[in-house]
Chain A
Amino acid sequence: MGGGLQLDSPVNRISRHTYSLIEDWIEPGSRVLDLGCGDGALLDRLIERKKVEGIGVEISQSMIVRCLGRGISVYQADIDRGLSQWDDMTFDYVILNDTIQVISRPHEVMNEMLRVGRYAIISVSNFGYIGNRIRIFLEGRMNTAIRTTGAWHDTPVIRFVSLSEFKTSLREINITLVDAWYYVAHSSIHSRRSFLSNLLADQGLFKLKREE
């Protein structure tokens, strides 16, 4: 899932920015599940720097092979089919980075994340970002910069969501926003302030928990 995207798109710089923001949220020595872990780069970093106990979930066999080569524990599964492999509250953090856009049942997946883990960390590409608005306004089409990869009929990206829509929908499924970063991927700009974020940030990173 996320793996495919990381390979054939200029996502690497997005990744590095997102990785450092995620890393700041992770308590050392915690248990982490990374959904759509791709080649395991994020987990590798968290294991090295935060000494976490990490497991990745991936659907692609070639990415599984790369995770194994890194010595990362990885589990081949389709996230959309649920996380029944894990008991309630097995993890401290369940990460969904660069993956929500390829999931067909995001709410079910988010509920599952907060069943097996205390916190969910989700990165969201902002469809409402000003750059996207301008592209659509001028060109009248969803180009690959918006879609990230592939043509409309063969891209794995099927969910287009803006940061404000994402946050609104959290309330419907009783999930609380604990913390958030709004940022521009290809830069070092990031902010915790949500004012105008739906216009000015092309990425959002959310730390979520179950409403008590």
Chain B
Amino acid sequence: MQKPLVETRSLLLDRPFHLESGDSISPLTIAYEIYGEDPGTEKQVILIEHALSGSAHAAFYHEGETKPGWWDDMIGPGKAFDTEHYRVICTNVIGGCNGSTGPSSINPVTGKPFALSFPPITIRDMTEAQRALLAQLGIDRIRCIVGGSMGGMQALQFFSDYPDQFDSFICIASTMRHSAQQIAFNEVGRRAIMADPRWNGGNYYGDIPPEGGLSVARMIGHITYISEHMMQEKFGRIRKDKDLRAIFRPSFEVEHYLDYQGVSFVRRFDANSYLYITSAIDNFDLVTSISGMGRFRGESRARGTRLTTLETKKGLVISFTSDWLYPSEQSRAIVRFFSGLNVGVSYAEITTEHGHDAFLTDHEQQTHLIRSFLESLEHAQ
């Protein structure tokens, strides 16, 4: 079969984009991709939200590339998000480094990269930027917003802020707020970057970036993304190098694996973006951000009316048994919260040994659940 191709497009928003911090960015670039675009046909829209290190390139192939997008197993003809039936859109978060404006972008005022002069961003800023994009594309109704990990946070935030715009959400391996342990892991990653002398207060652009620090941050991440069992199965105590004098050089398989993950990450990711995005994740607290009607975006209305709106909405929450970074209990809390708001929420816990990464790798079971869920939305019409 011919590989389906896609290009990353970008939207330039030339009016100031206001952030929760009170700062604004102008102009703002938002990178996005669209799959299943069928001019002339009216298709429902699915909005995909990416995780910490993701990009707008969720599916299909870029011209000349051999690797497809990060969720290609889930998006495409006949897949969970069937591009024959849906128009699927994925955008790169602001603060990122894969096309949307972030700390590595050029500040038009100084002509230099923003670095740490880039304003702090939140999960809501990420979804507000997407709202601006959707408005430009003339889309005001979304069939389903879906994401895993940080993508799940964006899905919950966007859905809760504008329930009228969404029929449903799917939140995978995520949480309404980080626990102390989750913040702690992120902080160690940030410290690794900032402790690298090449980080230089964030001013490394045009020079060698803090590769050492960023790769250590990524290594820590990867330890938390897979289960202990899987790591043991995959690597055990296998050694590549048995030379005892080679001490302090990677010799165990697992060390090589982490080394490889770290090194390949620094080639595609910006250290400052890592700092900004992990901070946005740690600061995310859904309940606080949406409580108090004054802080709801959209038209303000009486609480009662709002709850009635939510009654027709559907949600699907998925967790993985071996995910110790985002344990199932956090997903159950999401179900409790949205059930309390009268959203028709369902919950599935997939049995797997693949840990947090299962949302990217265990596509078969997710596909069954998601296809059924989306089909029922069609019948509800």
Binding site for B on A (CB under 8 A): 55, 61-62, 64-77, 85
| B323 nearest CB across to chain A (Å) | 15
Inter-chain contacts of B369 with A (CB < 8 A): 61, 64-65, 68
A65-B372, A71-B376, A71-B380 are known contacts. Are A85 and B348 too (CB-CB below 8 A)? no
Contact B372 A74 (CB under 8 A): no
Give the contacting residue for B376; candidates A61, A64, A68, A85; CB below 8 A: A68
Could you say which of B344, B346, B349, B380 has the most chain A C-beta atoms within 10 Å of its C-beta? Answer: B346
The 4 A-B pairs at the shortest CB distance, nearest first, are namely: A71-B376, A68-B372, A69-B372, A73-B344
| A86 nearest CB across to chain B (Å) | 8
Contact B372 A85 (CB under 8 A): no
Contact A69 B346 (CB under 8 A): no
Q: Check if B375 is an interface residue, CB within 8 A of chain A.
A: yes
Write the B342-354 contact mask toward A (1 if CB under 8 angstroms, else 0).
Answer: 0011111111000
A74-B346, A75-B346 are known contacts. Are A85 and B380 too (CB-CB below 8 A)? no
Specify the chain B residue showing the minimal Cβ separation from A84.
Answer: B332
Chain B interface bracket (under 10, 10 to 19, 20 to 34, 35 or more): 20 to 34
Q: Check if B141 is an interface residue, CB within 8 A of chain A.
A: no
A-B contact pairs, 25 of them (CB 8 A): A61-B351, A61-B369, A64-B346, A64-B348, A64-B369, A65-B368, A65-B369, A65-B372, A67-B346, A68-B346, A68-B369, A68-B373, A68-B376, A69-B372, A69-B375, A69-B376, A71-B314, A71-B377, A73-B344, A74-B346, A76-B347, A76-B349, A85-B332, A85-B335, A85-B336
Inter-chain contacts of B350 with A (CB < 8 A): 61
| B42 nearest CB across to chain A (Å) | 22
Judged by DSSP, the binding face of B is helix
* Additional pairs, 18, CB under 8 Å, beyond known A71-B380, A85-B335: A61-B348, A61-B350, A61-B351, A61-B368, A65-B369, A65-B372, A67-B346, A68-B369, A68-B372, A69-B376, A70-B376, A72-B346, A73-B314, A75-B335, A76-B347, A77-B347, A85-B332, A85-B336
| B379 nearest CB across to chain A (Å) | 6
Write the B314-347 contact mask toward A (1 if CB under 8 angstroms, else 0).
Answer: 1010000000000000001001100100001111
Inter-chain contacts of B377 with A (CB < 8 A): 71
Binding site for A on B (CB under 8 A): 314, 316, 332, 335-336, 339, 344-351, 365, 368-369, 372-373, 375-377, 379-380
Inter-chain contacts of A64 with B (CB < 8 A): 346, 348, 369
Inter-chain contacts of A55 with B (CB < 8 A): 339
Specify the chain A residue showing the minimal Cβ separation from B318.
Answer: A76
Inter-chain contacts of A68 with B (CB < 8 A): 316, 346, 369, 372-373, 376
Inter-chain contacts of A85 with B (CB < 8 A): 332, 335-336
Bound CA span A62–B373, Å: 13
Inter-chain contacts of A62 with B (CB < 8 A): 368
Contact A71 B348 (CB under 8 A): no
> Number of contacts between A and B (CB, 8 Å)?
50
A68-B316, A71-B380 are known contacts. Are A76 and B348 too (CB-CB below 8 A)? yes
Specify the chain B residue showing the minimal Cβ separation from A90.
Answer: B339
Bound CA span A171–B316, Å: 40
| B322 nearest CB across to chain A (Å) | 15
Bound CA span A126–B33, Å: 60
Bound CA span A76–B339, Å: 14
Bound CA span A66–B373, Å: 9
| B312 nearest CB across to chain A (Å) | 11
Inter-chain contacts of B376 with A (CB < 8 A): 68-71
Inter-chain contacts of A74 with B (CB < 8 A): 346-347
Specify the chain A residue showing the minimal Cβ separation from B332.
Answer: A85
Inter-chain contacts of B373 with A (CB < 8 A): 68
Inter-chain contacts of A73 with B (CB < 8 A): 314, 339, 344-346
Contact A66 B372 (CB under 8 A): yes
| A127 nearest CB across to chain B (Å) | 33
Bound CA span A75–B317, Å: 9
Inter-chain contacts of A65 with B (CB < 8 A): 368-369, 372
| B347 nearest CB across to chain A (Å) | 5
Bound CA span A55–B379, Å: 19
Inter-chain contacts of B347 with A (CB < 8 A): 74-77
Inter-chain contacts of A72 with B (CB < 8 A): 346
Inter-chain contacts of A66 with B (CB < 8 A): 372
Bound CA span A74–B315, Å: 10
Contact A61 B365 (CB under 8 A): yes
Inter-chain contacts of A77 with B (CB < 8 A): 347, 349
Bound CA span A40–B305, Å: 30
Bound CA span A75–B339, Å: 11
Specify the chain B residue showing the minimal Cβ separation from A75.
Answer: B347
Inter-chain contacts of B336 with A (CB < 8 A): 85
Bound CA span A72–B369, Å: 12
Bound CA span A75–B373, Å: 13
Specify the chain B residue showing the minimal Cβ separation from A67.
Answer: B346
Bound CA span A72–B344, Å: 8
Contact A71 B368 (CB under 8 A): no
| A70 nearest CB across to chain B (Å) | 6
Bound CA span A155–B350, Å: 24
Bound CA span A85–B339, Å: 10
Inter-chain contacts of A71 with B (CB < 8 A): 314, 376-377, 379-380
Bound CA span A69–B372, Å: 4
Specify the chain B residue showing the minimal Cβ separation from A78.
Answer: B349
